[in-house]
Amino acid sequence: MKYLLRVFLFNSFSLWFVSQVLPALEIHGGWQVLLFAGFVLSLLMLLVAPILKILFIPINIITFGLLSWCINVVVLYLLTIFVSDVSIHAWQFPGLQWAGFVVPPVALSYVMSLILVSLSVTFFVNLLHDISE
């Protein structure tokens, strides 16, 4: 029970944090929508992700596990389908210039934004799991 509550809180916090950092992820509504989205994401990660891991075994074997992030992308896409107040859209990165280093502007399509948001949410969930242990 404690593990399920921890997964729920970590997913909810990660969704909120990534929505604050990346404009590609938008959560319309208040904290109720955020908590519901965290609950749905937790259910998807606990129920759907293991099934997808089994289905993606051939791809993981061929790529030596490099495409295992596809599972999280599919789960996040399912989240946007099940919770209509959570949306991911194409995003224009405005570029960055600091201390002589220049990162040019980049236009990210819907799929690239979905991958970026998925990697960000997964990174923060794993970081929170590592910190809590």
CB 91 within 8 Å of CB 23: yes
Q: Give the confidence band of 1 by pLDDT, cuts at 50, 70, 90.
A: confident
Q: Which residue has the tokens 């921890």?
A: 6
Per the structure block, which two tokens stand in for 16?
């909120």
Can you list the alpha helix ranges (DSSP code H) found in the chain? 2-21, 31-43, 49-55, 57-62, 69-82, 110-132
Judged against a pLDDT cut of 90, whether residue 96 lies above it is answered with: no
Most distant pair of Cα atoms in the chain: their distance: 51
pLDDT value for 133: 76
Q: Give the confidence band of 32 by pLDDT, cuts at 50, 70, 90.
A: very high
Backbone angles phi, psi at 12, to 5 degrees: -65, -45
Backbone angles phi, psi at 29, to 5 degrees: 120, -175
Backbone angles phi, psi at 6, to 5 degrees: -65, -45
Q: Where are the domains of the chain?
A: 2-132
For residue 73, the number of C-alpha atoms closer than 13 Å in the C-beta half-sphere is: 13
Instruction: Give me the mean pLDDT over the 83-100 stretch.
Output: 90
Instruction: Give me the mean pLDDT over the 32-57 stretch.
Output: 93
pLDDT value for 56: 87
Instruction: Give me the mean pLDDT over the 91-101 stretch.
Output: 89
Percent of the chain clearing pLDDT 90 (strictly above): 73
Give the mean pLDDT of the chain. Answer: 92
Cα 18 → chain centroid: 8
